[in-house]
Structure 1
């Protein structure tokens, strides 16, 4: 257990640092640009790993309650440090954006600027920070301990929520380089809309539906027989997905129907609501890509 957590604690920050250094040397990018793109890259890598694990687990479980798969607990332990890392990575992105837009006060020294940046970051990204803390403080023990080795199938489905994260991250990179009107951005936006709806919005209702079929009970009675941890997790996480999906739809409406777009400054502000990371994960982070 400790070895897997340690591996994740090294892997995700290490990949970020390696990517940032590589982009600075090979592309000649600034510290801020390299850090922001590296954050997107790490989130995408984590999402691909989680989605792959989820697909393997869900497809391997015939009995959705009793069947076990070794990859379930393994990936939970490995991926949990990602959420702690991502809180700091999001802060770095926010910090560099403030520097680029000259929102940092030059007077008052580094301490005052850091405090102002932290306060501003928490104010803008409070939902995402709370989401990540909830993933570590609640979802980690719920997934690893409280379910008592049952329901690997459902855990695999939850991993699949990360499937929308790569398109979210690509959208943020395209916005960073002001490519909002390209065909790639439009195609990526449509893909993000579909994957987010299928893997996040529909996910929680499907979990209850799948159990109702397994137990041969009415759908409305499922919350009455499922553990309180499951109901609490769904009650807290699903509304966030609906909120973020509504923002995605608003951006898609502008992009595909009206053809209008916000200014880059307004876009970046709106995009800060969705990161994906990322979902129960699960970036994850989900992102700042409301315009898709």
Structure 2
């Protein structure tokens, strides 16, 4: 466990530092805000890909959804813990540099409690999400499950499947490719993967539990302890909120592109 923790503490901050240095020298016209933002997205995509691979490995290896175990569960939870702390720091740096680019006078003196407070107020849900995973999900997984439910932890790992595509979308925008077919296709993949792996995943887990114990899907929740249902609901609720935000963003982009296309097709008049 200690080895996995040390590896995570070296890999994720190390990748963030390497990406910042490489991007700064490769894209000399990018601002610090651009470099930090894209570096954060790249590290996030790598972590999400590893989490998804670990999740698929665990899920496909477990026949009994309650008692089967896999070493990757505890190993990856410990390995990924430093990423949560690293990503909070990276998000703060991104927020800080973006606000500096916008010319906020409050940042003239550099980092301060005021800049941290502004970051927490803006991205409080993402920060809370990371802290919950780090301070609640991690201890429960390691110490309070009594070795049960590795299958379901593996399922939760796969919720990260959509994250690389979200990161790709942000990178395409930064590269000026937001009005391309590639960006539109990626946007569709984001919506489908997010809905499948972050929302439909929960009915799937209930269905798998019910199938093993001969319980109809609509009755599974009544056979589970209250804290299990509450925990699932607490994880599901922000996923639904973020999915609604993604739908709104996709709708805005569609309307903007439709309006732009209409302007191009409109005949010019003297």
Settle same-fold status: TM greater than 0.5.
yes
Aligned equivalent of 1:17:
17
Whether the 8 Å contact between 2:107 and 2:115 is mirrored in structure 1 is: no
Aligned equivalent of 1:182:
180
User: Relative to structure 1, is the Cα distance of residues 57 and 255 closer, same or farther in structure 2, using a 3 angstrom cutoff?
Assistant: same
Deviating more after overlay: 38-47 vs 20-29: 20-29
User: Relative to structure 1, is the Cα distance of residues 258 and 17 closer, same or farther in structure 2, using a 3 angstrom cutoff?
Assistant: closer
* TM-score (ref. length: structure 1): 0.82
Deviations 1:206-257 (A, max 9, x none): 2112111111123344334334443232121111111111111112223336
User: Relative to structure 1, is the Cα distance of residues 27 and 176 closer, same or farther in structure 2, using a 3 angstrom cutoff?
Assistant: closer
Specify every segment of 5 or more residues in structure 2 that has no aligned partner in the other structure, as ranges. Answer: 260-270
Report deviation, 1:19.
1.2
Aligned equivalent of 2:98:
97
- Measured in 1, the distance between the counterparts of 2:153 and 2:132 equals 16
User: Relative to structure 1, is the Cα distance of residues 225 and 48 closer, same or farther in structure 2, using a 3 angstrom cutoff?
Assistant: same
Aligned equivalent of 2:87:
86
Deviations 1:5-49 (A, max 9, x none): 122112111110011112222333443322211100100000110
User: Relative to structure 1, is the Cα distance of residues 141 and 106 closer, same or farther in structure 2, using a 3 angstrom cutoff?
Assistant: closer
- Measured in 1, the distance between the counterparts of 2:144 and 2:44 equals 27
**Aligned-CA RMSD value:** 2.1
- Measured in 1, the distance between the counterparts of 2:215 and 2:126 equals 35
- Measured in 2, the distance between the counterparts of 1:82 and 1:101 equals 28
Match of residue 245, structure 2, among 247, 251, 270: 247
Specify every segment of 5 or more residues in structure 1 that has no aligned partner in the other structure, as ranges. Answer: 262-292
Whether the 8 Å contact between 1:98 and 1:104 is mirrored in structure 2 is: no
Deviating more after overlay: 98-107 vs 120-129: 98-107
- Measured in 1, the distance between the counterparts of 2:24 and 2:200 equals 40
Report deviation, 1:258.
6.1
Aligned equivalent of 1:72:
73
* TM-score (ref. length: structure 2): 0.88
Aligned equivalent of 2:129:
131
Once the two structures are superposed, the pairs formed by residues 141-180 of structure 1 within 5 Å of their partners are 141-180=139-178
Report deviation, 1:71.
1.3
Q: How many residues end up aligned between the 2 structures?
A: 259
